Structure 1
Amino acid sequence: MKANDSLAAKFQEDTRIPYVLYQLAKSYYMAAEYTKACAYFDCGLYFDLNPRLEYVIDMVETYGYALLNSGQADHALFLENVYEEFGNTADFKFLMGLIYMNNEMFDAAVEEFKKALKMPEGHARGVNSYLACYNIGVIYECLGQMTEAEQYYNRCGGYEPAEKRLENMKK
């Protein structure tokens, strides 16, 4: 048991290990091998990490997308536990909106997308503008709130999927 504790302590001291795990996870993610990516992200996030480091922020956000893309939306809800550390960007708020949307928590999803709309532009294009509006529109449309859906689709600035939904609503 002492040997395991010593080994665990050594891993915690080596700051390169989480970054290597992040790189492996990111490689699997880019290859659309989301389940494998999740395993490496999970291992990387086991470490005590600085939430202000760019790669740590990307690791958390990409892990959330990997969970969604691998059909593990319910597991992605654990990101609520790190909201205080990472929830200060449009990217994270948008991701949480998607997580809530995929878990059929529509009120919470709309709330997160609306928060993203109030944030400065994120790393991903559209998370604080047309993509957030589009997802709010989809939720409202699915809930039968067509007036609200139309308002948000109209705020998408010509985003083609929103335009198509507006056309379908008029039929």
Structure 2
Amino acid sequence: MRPFLLIIFLVTLIAGHSQTPTLPTWFSDAIKSKGLDKKYDISSFLKPSFLQADFSGDATQDIAVLVIEKGTKRKGILLIHGRTREHFLFGAGTAFGSGDKDFKWADKWKIYTKKTAYETQFDKESGDILGSKEIKLARPGIIIEDYEDGAALAGGIIYWNGKKYIWIHQGE
């Protein structure tokens, strides 16, 4: 019975490994041609290691990867538009929304496909939560979450509003 279980385990391990998606060549080429590989290391501090969707709404797949700034070790996300090869950096030394310059707080990330998001609204003086504002979404975004005791505590959605990427704050 033991050899049979070992064979099943090995087959599962090999099959799972062979189905791991890889980054397309155009993405790797864009990182090198822009010199981004000199300042950032692609990382896998969260799973999956990259996200692919039409974030910009131009009918072409865009890719977001996790990166670490080499000099400071700050974590973040690098997103490259598939059609234009324009790149955007969130965290990894570049402040963005409430995510700030380092996404070390992030526990999960995934593609956000709902057509509505609710942005947490804060009182500017006290910092108290006032409620939420409904935002209609026309395309996918990237949700990044901080978990505590198994539940999402806070985070945000990185979303292309047609002109630039914005941060839609979620939770506390």
TM-score, normalising length from structure 1?
A: 0.21
Structure with the higher helix share, 1 or 2:
1
Higher relative contact order (CA 8 A, sep 6+): 2
Structure with the higher strand share, 1 or 2:
2
TM-score, normalising length from structure 2?
A: 0.21
